[in-house]
């Protein structure tokens, strides 16, 4: 079978550390000279926000939102304009980030916590494990939300976060940064820090049995609370001042929730700024590769859990240790399957017998007019255990094809999205439209959805049954089929 794109090439890494990354020097000790080894490999910081849509980041053109520290990171580094998760669901997306394998291959088909109980296969080799084996110090703080621990093992847990826990440290990103300071001070060897916030995920209360409760009778607080958080100068937003994206309804209920969402994002931004300050204070900033991204799109129906653009096209900012083109915008199309191969490449680590579905974009980060990076693939299986709705996607520059494998079923709603004030207002007022889609079209989907993103960026005009686009559909169906074959998709024969 001919490989249709290098984006889905199975890359085989061979267990090895590049010798030019570890340099020998001579130093005086006592009466003679003794060799010392200096590891010149960069530190790596991976910042993962929870449900941060690209439409609510200042440097991505969002007016009125205060994300000055994230914007500064983009000014110091490279902003990717076409970066995509492969599944718009928390645990599955994080599993792809940390393994380079699609969720349908690594086993993390849905959420990790409570009754959902999904986990990656014991044979999977993740990024922190591979970096530790290569001599990196590894630590995590905040939300992990993948399992099992031995597959996603970090040497240090600076402060663990619990899913849907109102008291989680992930709601206080500035405090998270403070907990990282002692780890950042150590300079004996390069480090990998996984910094994962709960912001700006929807907040909840907890029932006596431990299950999360989302109250749809009022705007969600998105973790915001009276009195704020330590060392955070809260930014407050008025509903009238927010920008309502096209996929959402311009209603009072939605605007009230967006105002709260904005505030949570600004708190997240403050934590990013404090972490950057600590990297500079400890002398580590200039030798640290920093990646900022989100696991999936915003926590609203129409984004999170869907593979429409608001769910999968996300912010991705990369600050190189020695940047040459500050403020550069990279147009190459990358996906979260490419992140682990890229970070291993920066560390000079090659791991044999460990196939990856992504490829390293290290060499093209600051490159202009990149070719060969013009499509990405996505695979969604479940979110909650009851939310069976597998989808496969190929997304090109112009066209996007969504294959709804279980199209006979209504599209399932996540607990936090169904009980959102925004969605409940639509149901209460019996509105037919949700954003630019009808409610019926959102909940009941055909087998295939084809969109021309040049003429229809909001993905509302399905061209899949239009005879004029028969060849486009056939060509892209073939690509999806080959993607399924090459990634050993269990749904290939469905």
- Write out the catalytic residue numbers: 90
Closest Cα partner for 85 from 297, 231, 361? 297
Q: Pairing mode, if any, of strands 288-294 and 43-49?
A: parallel
Contact 332, 370 (CB under 8 A): yes
Task: In whole angstroms, give the CA distance from residue 435 to residue 97.
Answer: 30
* Residue 215 CB neighbours (<10 A): 15
CA dihedral 242, 248, 250, 253 (to 10 degrees): -80
- For residue 398, the SS3 value is coil
Task: In whole angstroms, give the CA distance from residue 421 to residue 110.
Answer: 25
**Helix pair 252-281, 173-185: axis angle to 10 deg:** 20
Backbone angles phi, psi at 155, to 5 degrees: -65, -40
Q: What is the secondary structure of 304-359 as a DSSP string? A: TTS-SHHHHEE-EEEE-SS-SSTTEEEEEEEEGGGHHHHHHHHTTEE-TT--BSS-
CA dihedral 225, 229, 234, 239 (to 10 degrees): -20
Geometric angle at alpha carbon 311, from 309 and 314, rounded to 5°: 80
Maximum separation of any 2 CA atoms in the chain, in Å: 86
Which contacts of 441-444 are long-range, i.e. CB under 8 A and separated by 24 or more positions?
A: 442/301, 442/302, 442/411, 443/410, 443/411, 444/410, 444/411
Closest Cα partner for 2 from 353, 360, 488, 478? 478
Sign of the dihedral defined by the CA atoms of residues 343, 276, 295, 479, in that order:
negative
């Amino acid at each position: 079978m001919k490989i249709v794109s290098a984006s889905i090439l199975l890359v085989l890494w061979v267990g090895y550390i590049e010798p030019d990354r570890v340099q020998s020097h001579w130093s005086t000790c006592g009466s003679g000279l003794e060799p010392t080894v200096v590891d010149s490999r960069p530190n790596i910081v991976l910042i993962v926000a929870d449900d941060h849509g690209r439409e609510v980041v200042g440097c991505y053109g969002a007016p009125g939102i205060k994300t000055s520290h994230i914007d500064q990171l983009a000014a110091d580094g490279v902003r990717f304009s076409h970066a995509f998760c492969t599944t718009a669901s928390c645990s599955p997306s994080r599993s792809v980030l940390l393994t380079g394998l699609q969720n349908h291959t690594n086993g993390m088909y849905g959420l990790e916590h409570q009754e959902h109980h999904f986990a990656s296969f014991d044979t999977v080799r993740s990024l922190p494990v591979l970096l530790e084996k290569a001599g990196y110090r590894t630590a995590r703080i905040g939300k992990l939300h993948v399992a099992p621990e031995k597959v996603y093992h970090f040497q240090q847990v600076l402060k663990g976060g619990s899913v849907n826990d109102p008291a989680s440290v992930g709601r206080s990103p500035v405090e998270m940064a403070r907990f990282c300071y002692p780890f950042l001070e150590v300079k004996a060897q390069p480090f990998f820090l996984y910094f994962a916030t709960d912001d700006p995920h929807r907040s909840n209360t907890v029932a006596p049995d431990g299950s999360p409760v989302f109250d749809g009778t009022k705007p969600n607080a998105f973790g915001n609370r009276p009195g704020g958080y330590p060392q955070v100068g809260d930014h407050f937003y008025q509903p009238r001042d927010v920008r309502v994206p096209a996929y959402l309804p311009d209603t009072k209920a939605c605007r009230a929730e967006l105002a709260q969402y904005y505030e949570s994002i600004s708190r997240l931004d403050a934590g990013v700024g404090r972490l950057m300050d600590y990297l500079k204070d400890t002398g580590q900033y200039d030798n640290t590769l920093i990646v900022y991204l989100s696991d999936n799109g915003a926590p609203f129906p129409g984004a999170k859990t869907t593979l429409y653009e608001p769910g999968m096209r996300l912010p991705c900012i990369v600050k190189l240790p020695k940047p040459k083109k500050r403020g550069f915008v990279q147009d190459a199309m990358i996906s979260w399957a490419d992140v682990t191969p890229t970070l291993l490449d920066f560390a000079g680590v090659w791991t044999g017998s460990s196939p990856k579905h992504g490829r390293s974009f290290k060499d093209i980060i600051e490159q202009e007019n990149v070719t060969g990076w013009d499509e990405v693939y996505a695979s969604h299986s479940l979110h909650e255990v009851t939310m069976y709705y597998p989808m496969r996607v190929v997304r090109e520059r112009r066209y996007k094809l969504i294959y709804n494998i279980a199209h006979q079923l209504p599209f399932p709603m996540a607990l936090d999205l169904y009980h959102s004030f925004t969605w409940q207002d639509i149901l209460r007022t019996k509105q037919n439209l949700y954003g630019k889609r009808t409610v019926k079209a959102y909940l009941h989907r055909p087998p295939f959805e084809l969109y021309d993103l040049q003429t229809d960026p909001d993905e509302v005009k399905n061209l899949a049954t239009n005879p004029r686009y028969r060849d486009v559909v056939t060509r892209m169906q073939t690509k999806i089929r080959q993607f399924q074959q090459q990634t050993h998709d269990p749904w290939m024969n469905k």
